[in-house]
Structure 1
Amino acid sequence: MEVQHLSQKELADRWRISPYTLEKWRMRGLGPCYIKLGNRVVYRLSDIEAHEASHTHAGTSQPIVCQEGDV
């Protein structure tokens, strides 16, 4: 199976945030894991999906992770 990667811009577009926000998160150790190749930063799709799953909640009062298909 081929590993899929997203660029910083592609991830920013996916999450509708600024690419600069991703840069700030990397400096602070936040966000999904990334790969630095020279000056280029890429994110594995599997790491993005894992990060999204770990930040999925059932409600504001209970940080319960939802199962896939619940939301």
Structure 2
Amino acid sequence: MDRPESKPASRYLTNEEAAAYLKLSPHTLNKKRVIGGGPKFRKLGSRVVYAIDDLETWIEARACNTTSDPRYAQAR
């Protein structure tokens, strides 16, 4: 009997864990959450969490081919 394919539940990371995953400081990730330009996040009560899938999507959206790519300047 075939098992239905189910997507595994996304793992959520705290701000500190997400910052380490992205190799950013927690302060930088906090700042991006306030002013914009950071990865999607979720607010669970007083906690902020990030799905690994959202972090990966944010990383991929920042891919650049050359230093003259406009996204290169935005990624800094």
So what's the TM-score if we normalise by structure 1? Answer: 0.78
Q: How many residue pairs were aligned?
A: 64
Cα 1:57/1:18, change in 2 over 3 Å: same
Report the secondary structure of 2:50's partner residue.
strand
Gaps of 5+ in 2: 1-7, 72-76
CA separation in 1, counterparts of 2:40 and 2:14?
12
Deviations 1:30-71 (A, max 9, x none): 20010011111100111111100000111112358xxxxxxx
> How high is the sequence identity, in percent, across the aligned residues?
38
Report the secondary structure of 1:6's partner residue.
strand
Matched to 2:17, the amino acid is: E
1:33 aligns with: 40
- Structure with higher Rg: it is 2
CA separation in 1, counterparts of 2:16 and 2:22?
10
Alignment of 1:27-66 (within 5 A): 27-62=34-69
RMSD over aligned Cα atoms: 1.6
Report the secondary structure of 2:13's partner residue.
strand
Question: Runs of 4+ in structure 1 displaced over 4 angstroms?
Answer: none
Matched to 1:6, the amino acid is: L
